[in-house]
Amino acid sequence: MKRNIPVFGSKLRNNIVTVPEAIAQYSGIRVFGQSIKSFLFSTDVAIIRNTNANAIIAVYPFTPQPVISNALILAADKPIFCGVGGGITTGVRSLELAIHAEFQGALGVVLNKPTPNNLISMLKNKIDIPVTITVVSEKDDIKGRLDAGVDIFNVSGANKTVDIIKKIRDLSSEVAIIATGGKTDETIIKAIDAGANAISYTPPTTGELFKEIMDKYRSEE
């Protein structure tokens, strides 16, 4: 028997950023009892507060700062995976940022591509939340990451994403994989079929969302 799913909403909160429905087909990643199928890639607090994604990947192109992760964690109504560097910001500084993120309430940490494998090992020995590493190419040292103890791969390989997922799956059937699935159901399903467990979705910018609203207001004049 098909179960009825009660739905609750409001007049004020019906305009939210929704992730593609195809993501519901994923197995998801269970972190401390929470099942996560969709990640929103954003540091915009307003968007983070108005989305149906299960969790947030909060990574940005500047050196990580605890005041930023603290603000995002306090504002969010869902789990946050915080960026803690790995490139220019690395070593002991990344370790301290990760410890601080865990103490603030982050559900996981994310390292970027240049991260050395020994930093992954350091983090695994010091924090009790999942360590995620971003992979952008088939040439990345995937086996070295696995040997270092990484928990989750965050695959962001543009048109090579499916190939990277397959390479990871050839090396491990157990490790968790988040993948960028693009904007269409077709590309999302390809990532599912290749072996991804969850999808990261990049939302429209606040400016793009505002444009739709302003165009609507202008048409009503």
Q: Token digits for 168?
A: 């990871």
Residues of the chain falling short of pLDDT 50: none
Q: What domains does the chain contain, in order, with CATH numbers? A: 25-219 (3.20.20.60)
Q: Which residues pair with 34 in a beta bridge?
A: 31
What is the amino acid identity at position 126? Answer: K
Q: Residue 1: what pLDDT?
A: 62
User: SS3 for 75-91, per residue?
Assistant: HCCCCEEEECCCCCCCH
Residue 213 host element (H or E): helix 206-219
**pTM (global) more than 0.95:** no
Q: Which two tokens stand for residue 99?
A: 């410890």
Specify the DSSP element, H or E, that contains 177: strand 176-180
Q: Please list the residues that pair with 111 across neighbouring strands.
A: 133
- What is the distance between the alpha carbons of residues 55 and 129, in angstroms, rounded to a whole number? 14
Is the CB of residue 81 less than 8 Å from the CB of residue 107? Answer: yes
